Chains A and B, each alone.
Chain A
Amino acid sequence: MGTGLKRKDLLGTRDLSPEEIGLILDTAISMKEIASRDIKKVPTLRGKTIINLFYEPSTRTRTSFEIAGKWMSADVINISTSSSSVVKGETLKDTGLTLQAMHPDVVVIRHSAAGAPQILAGLLKASVINAGDGAHEHPTQALLDLFTIREKRGTLAGLKVAIVGDILHSRVARSNIFAMQKMGMQVRVCGPPTMLPRYMDRLGVEVFSRIEPAIADVDIIMMLRIQLERQGGGLFPTLREYSKLFGLNLDRLKAAKQDVLIMHPGPINRGVEISPEVADGPYSLILNQVENGVAIRMAVLYLLAGGQAAAN
């Protein structure tokens, strides 16, 4: 007896039900086992075509989707727009329709404009997966974060999380807030006032502008990267000052619980938002997150493309 995700696309965690989230996490458990085999191959998506359409640079997410697709025998094509006709001025719509004419089964898109995946989803028959759209959502990141926490702690409900950093520009924070609250977790956000959205508390999160009270008695601390390429200036005086006030180092960790878990979506700025000792320390789940990213993306690809669940 199965259920499947009764949807064509995965655009965000905001409209996922707790049951759907649970299904994706449970499926990822089975997928993770494949990574431990000698022959990392199952025939499930044989003959399916997956196109990774990345308008923004990425190491983790794109490689993760590529490996996930290939381990399931799909044909994966990577388009990084810096070397495509987009530099000639081709619009998103035309790019989408061009790809549609080649009959992909799944298009994974990362774009700097919020809503771009939704536009593509309306245009294409293929399943569209949002790999990050502007500051809006990054659903597979939130799902792999939940998976990592659940794997370590056994459960999700009742856990307290503090997300620290540039909340204003963070799609990872948003997707995590929606997903975590659905699974019964309590979320706090923390950052300099210049990087905290004005009505943040309306999302049901506690807002802190100092890190020490934010991380006291939480079970998980999630650090966000200071996005050097996003801001010209004016949001913080210097990296050094940011690090001094909001960086996570061993000293600051003394304010937190003994067994607190440390997470970071990557890539980390060593010595800025997180010190090397904390990033490489025993309670850091940063590399677990990366490993689980492949399993979660395999689960999402399987649930959307492994069968004609919703498309017809």
Chain B
Amino acid sequence: MPGGPMSQRREKAQILDAAGITRAITRIAHEIVERNNGVQDVVLVGLRSRGVDLAHRIAVKLEEIEGTKVPVGALDITLYRDDLGKAETQPVVRRTEIPFAINDKKVVLVDDVLYTGRSCRAAMDALMDLGRPRLIQLAVLVDRGHRELPIRADYVGKNMPTSHQEQVQVLLTEEDGVDRVVILEEKAD
């Protein structure tokens, strides 16, 4: 995520707690079933790294609802970013693991925060290099506004208008030991 070092930011507000995250995921899962008339040919591809955890949670919910296991893959978009060379430090490249073909599948991309839309653009380019999906949909936990590309989410956990100085941080048990979504702002000196 773009922005200054974490240590100079302080927490402004919590916008989702653990229960809120669970409810959002449940609703997103139901919407995916509704929009796609079931989960036939649906696959979930999470953007590393928290998008992957969210995708797994959605898959669990989908299995509860429809009784079917939906395949989950992990996509690393580092090599497709449009800002390599602009960041002060280089992002670490992690492994893309999508152990199934995506040709003719309905791919639901899953990410934690939708902001400028550039990560989604990179993810779509990466997917196109891996095959030809029938369609691509986007599920995000938080949409914070400020799109810089004509991209929109199909499934949104929470809409949260923010300013450019703020940062939305999603913390998940799998990686951070806790489930919450907070807004951070520059620390006033």
Contact check: which of B78, B90, B95, B126 meets A29 at CB < 8 Å? Answer: B95
- Does the CB pair A27–B96 fall under 8 Å? no
- Does the CB pair A44–B79 fall under 8 Å? yes
Interface size on A, residues (CB 8 A): 25
- Does the CB pair A309–B93 fall under 8 Å? no
- Does the CB pair A3–B80 fall under 8 Å? no
Residue numbers in A under 8 Å from B84 (CB-CB) = 44, 306-307
User: What 0/1 pattern do residues 79 to 102 of B give for CB contact below 8 A with A?
Assistant: 110001111011111111100000
Residue numbers in A under 8 Å from B94 (CB-CB) = 30
The smallest C-beta distance from B146 to any residue of chain A, in angstroms, reads: 22
Decide yes or no whether B76 CB sits under 8 A from chain A.
yes
Residue numbers in A under 8 Å from B131 (CB-CB) = 38
- Does the CB pair A1–B96 fall under 8 Å? no
Contact check: which of A31, A44, A302, A307 meets B87 at CB < 8 Å? Answer: A307
- Does the CB pair B85–A302 fall under 8 Å? no
- Does the CB pair B95–A30 fall under 8 Å? yes
- Does the CB pair A39–B89 fall under 8 Å? no
User: What 0/1 pattern do residues 3 to 27 of A give for CB contact below 8 A with B?
Assistant: 1100000000000000000010011
- Which residue from chain B places its CB closest to the CB of A305 in the assembled complex? B85
B interface: dominant SS? loop
- Does the CB pair B85–A308 fall under 8 Å? yes
- Does the CB pair A33–B80 fall under 8 Å? no
Decide yes or no whether A76 CB sits under 8 A from chain B.
no
- Does the CB pair B90–A4 fall under 8 Å? yes
CA distance A4 to B87 in the complex (A): 11
- Does the CB pair B89–A30 fall under 8 Å? no
- Does the CB pair A30–B96 fall under 8 Å? yes
| In the complex with contacts A29-B95, A30-B96, A33-B96, A307-B85 CB distance below 8 A | yes
Decide yes or no whether B13 CB sits under 8 A from chain A.
no
Residue numbers in B under 8 Å from A309 (CB-CB) = 89-90
CA distance A285 to B64 in the complex (A): 46
Residue numbers in A under 8 Å from B66 (CB-CB) = none
Decide yes or no whether A43 CB sits under 8 A from chain B.
yes
Contact check: which of B91, B96, B129 meets A39 at CB < 8 Å? Answer: B129
Contact check: which of A1, A30, A41 meets B76 at CB < 8 Å? Answer: A30
Residue numbers in A under 8 Å from B92 (CB-CB) = 1-3, 23, 26-27
Decide yes or no whether B125 CB sits under 8 A from chain A.
yes
Decide yes or no whether B130 CB sits under 8 A from chain A.
yes
CA distance A27 to B94 in the complex (A): 7
Contact check: which of A39, A42, A308 meets B79 at CB < 8 Å? Answer: A42
Contact check: which of B79, B91, B130 meets A2 at CB < 8 Å? Answer: B91
CA distance A307 to B88 in the complex (A): 9
| In the complex with contacts A37-B129, A307-B85, A308-B85, A42-B80 CB distance below 8 A | yes
- Which residue from chain A places its CB closest to the CB of B85 in the assembled complex? A307
- Does the CB pair B80–A37 fall under 8 Å? no
The smallest C-beta distance from B53 to any residue of chain A, in angstroms, reads: 17
CA distance A41 to B126 in the complex (A): 10
The smallest C-beta distance from B7 to any residue of chain A, in angstroms, reads: 12
- Does the CB pair B90–A307 fall under 8 Å? yes
- Name 8 extra pairs, CB < 8 A, besides A44-B80, A303-B90: A2-B91, A4-B89, A30-B94, A31-B93, A42-B126, A43-B79, A44-B84, A307-B87
A positions within 8 Å CB-CB of B: 1-4, 23, 26-27, 29-31, 33, 37-39, 41-44, 72, 302-303, 306-309
B positions within 8 Å CB-CB of A: 76, 78-80, 84-87, 89-97, 125-126, 129-131
Chosen A-B contacts, 8 in total, with CB atoms closer than 8 Å, are A2-B90, A27-B92, A30-B94, A42-B79, A307-B84, A307-B85, A307-B86, A307-B87
